[in-house]
């Protein structure tokens, strides 16, 4: 009986240790986690504006991008960034679950590429980002950006376009996708 109790305890512990997290592709981003972001308007050409967003140590990138898009009423944009992370979480889309499998990257890394766009979904601007980060051993890890904690900096250049882009829910995938024919 004692052996069975120990085996059940170990199994429960292993299940908790190795449980896989999943998140919805339409989960709204949390705001208020990027107090150090600085914004500078770089250029205006007609109605198109390009900004630099400079993130500071401890800022969370998805939160900061969302706050920027809300504050500046962004309805269509694209961006790129490079910098450093103290940790990150990326997602790999699991079609059978219609969810992102969360892949944690707990160690410091170089953000070798971060690209994405902003479109309106459910009446609010939503940032859609993919990222590649390189860890100390030179290996790269990437996927859909779920979370990235900056350290010491991340430099993001975003171009805001005047023509809105809208997302619709794709039922097959349970995800918001851009529909270029949608006008509201």
List C-alpha distances in Å: 9 to 12, 13, 15, 16, 40.
5, 6, 10, 11, 55
List C-alpha distances in Å: 40 to 37, 52, 62, 150.
10, 5, 18, 19
Interval 17-43: pLDDT, tens = 558 999 999 999 999 999 999 999 999
What class does CATH assign to 21-178?
alpha beta
Mean per-residue pLDDT for 86-105?
97
Mean per-residue pLDDT for 51-72?
98
pLDDT level of residue 172 (50, 70, 90 thresholds)? very high
Torsion angle defined by CA atoms of residues 105, 106, 112 and 116, in that order, rounded to the nearest 10 degrees: 60
Report the residue count for the chain: 184
Interval 97-151: pLDDT, tens = 999 999 999 999 999 999 999 999 999 999 999 999 999 999 999 999 999 999 9
Q: Return the pLDDT at 10.
A: 46
Is the pLDDT at 8 greater than 90, yes or no? no
Break the chain into its structural domains and give their ranges: 21-178
Cis peptide upstream of residue 152 (ω within 30 degrees of 0)? yes
pTM as predicted: 0.88
């Amino acid at each position: 009986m004692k052996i069975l109790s120990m085996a059940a305890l170990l199994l429960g512990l292993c299940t908790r240790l190795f449980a896989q997290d999943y998140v919805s592709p339409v989960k709204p981003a949390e705001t208020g986690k990027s107090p150090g972001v600085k914004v500078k308007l770089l250029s205006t050409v007609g109605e198109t504006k390009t900004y630099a967003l400079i993130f500071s140590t401890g800022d969370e990138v998805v939160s900061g991008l969302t706050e920027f898009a809300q504050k500046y009423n962004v309805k269509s944009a694209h961006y790129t960034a490079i910098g450093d992370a103290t940790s990150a979480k990326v997602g790999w889309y699991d079609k059978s679950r219609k969810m992102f499998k969360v892949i944690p990257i707990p160690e410091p890394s170089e953000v070798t590429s971060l690209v994405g766009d902003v479109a309106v979904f459910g009446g609010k601007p939503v940032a859609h980002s993919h990222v590649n980060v390189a860890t100390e051993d030179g290996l790269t890890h990437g996927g859909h950006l779920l979370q990235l904690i900056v350290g010491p900096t991340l430099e993001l250049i975003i171009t805001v376009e005047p023509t809105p882009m809208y997302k619709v829910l794709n039922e097959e995938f349970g995800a918001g996708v851009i529909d270029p024919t949608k006008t509201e």
